[in-house]
Amino acid sequence: MRLSGNNLFALQIYFEKGIIPENKIIGGMMLNPVDAALVLVDFQGRLAQIVDRSELVVPNLMRLVKGVQALEMPILATVQVPDKLGPALPELSETLGDTPIISKTAFSAMREPEFMLALKQSGRKQFILGGIEAHVCVLQTGLDLLDAGYEVHLLSDAAFSRTAENHDLAWGGCMMPVQPSPAWKLRCLN
């Protein structure tokens, strides 16, 4: 069975109809909602206002988060020095509800002990990654996840930088699959 478009919500229907068994682990480079989690790096108000394509930050982020929540996949979210750069986007905080947002001071979330604990507690091996700034915090987090043996899928439409050139630098420097949306890469069984 194939999925088309950017609609993660369709996968919820597949679970409900038993097309994808909830405990089925699928290997390979395809994303598996049972084995994947979403990592959101530094979606903060001050940063979101100054990035290239800033008008896409909130709609793309909310579509992604709501789709992942519909699939009951874990979400790990961070903010970079919130006392200087501000809190998480209000829309994100509201949508995440009780999901903690982890403060960090290093560019890579993997350098933050609280993030490492949440990562380990998630029990996941695949991570869908997006955030601000793509060429710094997002890239370093992704590379550190890879170094730790995790599978990382970087989202081009959910990663932002202040300039288009910096956004493009992130893709040139990464060793991860890059795609516009994870929906087409979540594997379904017949």
Q: Distance between CA 93 and CA 43 in Å, rounded?
A: 10
Is 137 catalytic? The answer is yes
Among 137, 147, 157, 185, the active-site one is 137
Q: How far is CA 168 from CA 3, 11, 84, 174, in A?
A: 27, 30, 26, 10
Is 42 catalytic? The answer is yes
Residue 132 host element (H or E): strand 126-132
Among 17, 35, 83, 104, the active-site one is 104
Residue pair 3/11 in contact by the 8 Å Cβ criterion: yes
Among 17, 24, 42, 83, the active-site one is 42
Residues ≥6 apart with Cβ < 8 Å to 141: 39, 41, 107, 108, 109, 110, 129, 131
Catalytic site positions: 42, 104, 137
